[in-house]
Amino acid sequence: MKIRAVISLLIAGTFSSVALAGLEPAEGEKLITYQPDPEVWEIANKDLINSKRLVWFNKEMRAKGRTYDDFYEVNVFNKPEKDVDGVRQWSDKKGSLKCRQFESVDIARDVSATYPSVTWRTTCLRGNAPAARLITKLIEGERHLYQVQKAWVGKVDNAAITEWQAHIEESYVCDINSETDPCPAEESSSEAPQAADNNAD
User: Which candidate, 131, 110, 132, 135, places its Cα nearest to that of 120?
Assistant: 135
Long-range CB contacts (within 8 A, 24+) of 80-84:
80/145, 83/111, 83/116, 83/140, 84/111, 84/116, 84/117, 84/118, 84/138, 84/139, 84/140, 84/145
Each residue of 153-169: pLDDT tens digit?
999 999 999 999 999 99
Give the distance between the most distant pair of CA atoms in the chain.
52
Does the pLDDT of residue 29 top 90, yes or no?
A: no
Contact (Cβ atoms closer than 8 angstroms) between residue 20 and residue 200: no
Task: Kindly indicate the confidence band of residue 72, based on its pLDDT and cuts at 50, 70 and 90.
Answer: very high
Bridge partners, 34 (sequence order): 10
Query: 0.85 exceeded by the pTM?
Result: no
Average pLDDT, the chain: 79
pLDDT-above-90 percentage for the chain:
37
Average pLDDT over residues 126-147: 91
**For residue 120, what is the DSSP state?**
E
Give the integer Cα–Cα distance in Å for 103 and 144. 27
Q: Where are the domains of the chain?
A: 6-175
> 198: number of CA atoms within 13 Å, CB side?
3
The CATH fold assigned to 6-175 is Protein Transport Mog1p; Chain A (3.40.1000)
Does the pLDDT of residue 15 top 70, yes or no?
A: no
Phi-psi region of 62 (alpha: psi -120 to 50; beta: other; left: phi over 0): alpha
Contact (Cβ atoms closer than 8 angstroms) between residue 80 and residue 9: no
Give the integer Cα–Cα distance in Å for 185 and 76. 23
pLDDT at 153: 93
What is the side-by-side strand order in the sheet with 172-175?
14-18, 6-11, 29-34, 172-175
Give the integer Cα–Cα distance in Å for 68 and 62. 8
